[in-house]
Amino acid sequence: RLEEAFHQLIHRHESLRTGFKVIHGEPKQIVYPKVNFGIELIESTEVEIEDRIEQFVRSFDLGQAPLMRVRLIELQQERDVLLVDLHHIIADGLSVHLLMTELSQFYKGEELSPLRIQYKDYAEWQQMQLHSERMKKQEKYWLTVFGESIPLLDLPTDYERPETLSYAGDVLDIVVQED
C-alpha cells in the first residue's frame, strides 16, 4: 500500500519524474512519463539504525529520475522507520511538507483532485515576470536608490559601534553539561 501511494505521488507530480541532462552545453529539465521506482526494504536492529540511515543518504545522478529514494527499515514487529531522500533540485521544505501530506492521503486511500499547474508552469511564469517591463522598472528604481553608496543600517545595539567596521567573524565553542 505504501509503495502504491508513492507511485500515485510520482504520477501526480512531474518534479518526481524529472531528470536533468546537459544538451549542447546547457542543462535541460526532462520530465519522463514513467520512472522506475521501488521502496528498498531492509531489516535492522535499533543498534544498527544510525549506520543504516548514514548509508542511505548519498549523492544522486541528476540524469536519472526519480531524484528520490525511499527505504523502509523493519526494526521489529509493529515498528518501522521510513527514510525518504529527495534531491533539493526537485523539492524544497514547503514542497516536502505538501508531498508528505499527499502521500499520507494516498496511503489512506483518498482521491485527490488533479493538479491545475505543475512546478515547471510556475517556473516558466516566474521567468516571464523577470523579463517583464514591470520588473525592468523595479530594477531601474533600485539601481537609482542604491546608485551612490548604500546607507549604513544603524540598528540599536547593546554596545557602541566601532569607528572602523570589520566584518571579521569568530568561533565561539560552548559546552553544555548534562544534568
Spatial contact of 17 and 35, defined as CB atoms under 8 Å apart = yes
pTM to 2 decimals?
A: 0.71
pLDDT, one tens digit per residue, over 146-166 is: 888 877 777 888 888 778 878
* Inter-CA distances, 166 with 58, 148, 162, Å: 39, 21, 8
How does residue 179 score in pLDDT terms, banded at 50, 70 and 90? low
